Protein backbone atom coordinates (compact mmCIF):
# COMPACT_ATOMS: atom_id res chain seq x y z
CA UNK A 1 0.00 0.00 0.00
CA UNK A 2 2.90 2.33 0.74
CA UNK A 3 4.37 1.74 -2.72
CA UNK A 4 1.01 2.53 -4.33
CA UNK A 5 0.85 5.85 -2.47
CA UNK A 6 4.36 6.81 -3.63
CA UNK A 7 3.51 5.94 -7.22
CA UNK A 8 0.41 8.14 -7.02
CA UNK A 9 2.46 11.00 -5.55
CA UNK A 10 5.07 10.75 -8.32
CA UNK A 11 2.41 10.59 -11.03
CA UNK A 12 0.62 13.58 -9.46
CA UNK A 13 3.81 15.65 -9.34
CA UNK A 14 4.58 14.76 -12.98
CA UNK A 15 1.06 15.78 -13.97
CA UNK A 16 1.42 19.14 -12.19
CA UNK A 17 4.82 19.81 -13.78
CA UNK A 18 3.52 18.83 -17.22
CA UNK A 19 0.50 21.09 -16.83
CA UNK A 20 2.72 23.98 -15.72
CA UNK A 21 4.89 23.62 -18.83
CA UNK A 22 1.83 23.38 -21.06
CA UNK A 23 0.15 26.46 -19.61
CA UNK A 24 3.30 28.60 -19.31
CA UNK A 25 3.62 31.40 -21.85
CA UNK A 26 5.90 30.39 -24.70
CA UNK A 27 8.08 32.88 -26.51
CA UNK A 28 7.94 32.27 -30.21
CA UNK A 29 10.27 34.11 -32.52
CA UNK A 30 8.05 36.00 -34.89
CA UNK A 31 9.16 37.28 -38.24
CA UNK A 32 7.43 40.43 -39.27
CA UNK A 33 6.37 40.73 -42.87
CA UNK A 34 6.89 44.08 -44.61
CA UNK A 35 4.68 42.96 -47.53
CA UNK A 36 2.34 40.12 -48.53
CA UNK A 37 5.04 38.06 -50.33
CA UNK A 38 8.47 37.68 -48.72
CA UNK A 39 11.61 35.89 -49.88
CA UNK A 40 13.58 34.25 -47.04
CA UNK A 41 16.07 31.44 -46.47
CA UNK A 42 15.05 28.01 -45.24
CA UNK A 43 16.86 25.96 -42.60
CA UNK A 44 19.16 24.47 -45.22
CA UNK A 45 19.91 27.86 -46.83
CA UNK A 46 17.73 27.45 -49.91
CA UNK A 47 15.46 30.38 -50.81
CA UNK A 48 11.79 30.19 -49.85
CA UNK A 49 8.88 32.28 -51.02
CA UNK A 50 6.51 32.95 -48.14
CA UNK A 51 3.00 34.37 -47.98
CA UNK A 52 2.15 36.66 -45.06
CA UNK A 53 -1.19 37.26 -43.41
CA UNK A 54 -1.58 40.05 -40.83
CA UNK A 55 2.19 40.39 -40.48
CA UNK A 56 2.86 36.69 -39.79
CA UNK A 57 4.32 34.07 -42.14
CA UNK A 58 1.54 31.65 -43.02
CA UNK A 59 2.99 29.36 -45.68
CA UNK A 60 6.31 28.94 -47.44
CA UNK A 61 7.29 27.04 -50.58
CA UNK A 62 10.14 26.80 -53.04
CA UNK A 63 10.21 29.65 -55.56
CA UNK A 64 9.72 29.12 -59.24
CA UNK A 65 7.07 28.02 -61.69
- Per-residue pLDDT of the chain (65 residues), as tens digits, is 899 999 999 999 999 999 988 888 776 665 578 888 888 888 888 888 888 888 787 888 887 76
Q: Which residues pair with 45 in a beta bridge?
A: none
Report d(CA 48, CA 23) in Å as an integer: 33
Whether the model pTM is above 0.85: no
> Rounded distance, CA 58 to CA 42, Å?
14
Amino acid sequence: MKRYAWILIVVGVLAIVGTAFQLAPHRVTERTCPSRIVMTKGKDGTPLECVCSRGVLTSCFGPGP
